[in-house]
Amino acid sequence: MGWPKTSTDKLLKTLVVYSVLTIPFVQWPGSVIGAGIPNFIKGVVFYYFTIAFVRTEADLKRFLGVFIGCQLLRILEPLYLHVTEGYWGSIASMANWEYLYRLSGAPNDVVNPNGLAFIVCSVLPFLYLMAGLSRKGRLGAILLTPLCIYTLTLTGSRSGIIGTGVIFLGILAKSQRKVTWLVGGAVIVLLGFPMLPPDMQDRYLSTIGLGAKNAETAEGRITGVMDNFTLALRRPLFGHGLGTSREVNANFGGVDQPAHNLYAEVAQELGIVGLVIVLLLLKSIYQGFAECKRTYQSSNASVFMRKMVDCMQVTLLMNFIFSFASYGLNSHEWYLLGGLSVVMQQLALDYFKKLRSREDLSHG
């Protein structure tokens, strides 16, 4: 049985077609063809692979097992190297020509400290999901969550800390044990923060305007995003071309890096039209999970599927907030979420049909 033609599917196809058709009208068509389109395909393929291979609840469980396992390896390997060999992998500049060591992905990984922090944030909601399914899952979550959070603190990623806070608030909103979560969160912060090195404390305090050494870099993130949107206005309609954000900033902004904001990145590369398409795509993903929530909330669905919907909504919220401090048009995250939203909509539809069939039989 084929998958339904959801709005997510239609909008993603529209985005792909738009990115190709606008090549003649962008600033650097050669860069789009040589790098932009190939990297974009590497991200989009997660959507199509997900809806192609995840067809049942059992498939979904196996998929999540592999996904969480691989992501945990990417978290625990640099942590192990840090503890045993003093590995950091990256540094960040501070005031007075001082530098802060930051934990990045393992030597053979491709992620920087912010990327490693995002991986941690992408795993934490699933550990919450595991904890609600079985005793083994709860034990695994209890053992792994502190290691993941410790890894995140070593990255020095302010956006990672904000993402963790969003996850905590999302879980708090969905939990029936709000007091326990509040007390636990307060204890972790009060006991854990003083244990961080002074420079790392300063970096995290700079998120709320209290850090001294890292205040300039925190302010630079905000002004940098504003500059990115200003550069997007050079070609407001169709943009400079898919995958060219770094070229835009290097050539016209004097900063050799892509926009650290998904929406500024899209505006630079695809223009206002492309930004509207992307925003509608994100909205459709949100609506897909919301529909699943209504279906499973009003029925006797499996505990796994009910918890899975909660997990996806928390993950979606975290991704939305994190995207204000990270690029990601060519990354896999949103396309994976889009694929999972379509898969779960279909599973919800199948479940609803079975439920109606049972009701018809009972009334027959």
pLDDT band at 12 (very low <50, low <70, confident <90, very high): very high
Contacts for 56-65: CB closer than 8 Å, 24+ residues apart: 56/347, 57/302, 57/304, 57/305, 57/347, 60/308, 60/343, 60/344, 60/347, 61/304, 64/126, 64/129
List, for residues 80-103, the tens digit of each pLDDT value: 999 999 999 998 776 666 788 899
pLDDT band at 1 (very low <50, low <70, confident <90, very high): very low
CA dihedral 43, 46, 48, 52 (to 10 degrees): 170
The pLDDT of residue 183: 87
pLDDT band at 219 (very low <50, low <70, confident <90, very high): low
pLDDT of 104 above 90? yes
Rounded average pLDDT over 61-65: 93
Residue 278 and residue 267: Cα distance in Å, rounded? 10
Closest alpha carbon to 103 in 93, 89, 115: 89
List, for residues 257-290, the tens digit of each pLDDT value: 888 899 999 999 999 999 999 999 999 999 999 9
Cβ contact 289:313 at 8 Å: yes
User: Quick one: tokens of 154?
Assistant: 């070593």
Task: Tell me the whole-structure pTM to 2 decimals.
Answer: 0.87
Rounded average pLDDT over 309-333: 89
pLDDT band at 213 (very low <50, low <70, confident <90, very high): low
Residue 107 burial class via C-beta count within 10 angstroms: exposed 0-12, middle 13-18, buried 19 and up = exposed
pLDDT of 204 above 50? yes
Tell me the average pLDDT of the chain.
87
The pLDDT of residue 337: 94
List, for residues 113-143, the tens digit of each pLDDT value: 999 999 999 999 999 888 888 889 899 999 9
The total of other beta-carbon atoms located within 10 Å of residue 83's CB is 11
Percent of the chain whose predicted confidence (pLDDT) is above 90: 55
pLDDT of 248 above 80? yes
pLDDT band at 341 (very low <50, low <70, confident <90, very high): very high
Q: Give the distance between the most distant pair of CA atoms in the chain.
A: 80
pLDDT of 61 above 80? yes
Average the pLDDT over each of 57-61, 75-79, 220-224 and give the range with the smallest value: 220-224
pLDDT of 64 above 80? yes
The pLDDT of residue 4: 57
Residue 290 and residue 212: Cα distance in Å, rounded? 42
List, for residues 185-203, the tens digit of each pLDDT value: 888 888 887 887 777 777 7
Percent of the chain whose predicted confidence (pLDDT) is above 70: 90
The pLDDT of residue 35: 92
Cβ contact 305:299 at 8 Å: no
pLDDT of 40 above 70? yes
Residue 188 and residue 178: Cα distance in Å, rounded? 15
The pLDDT of residue 209: 67
Helix axes 333-363, 57-85, angle to 10 degrees: 150
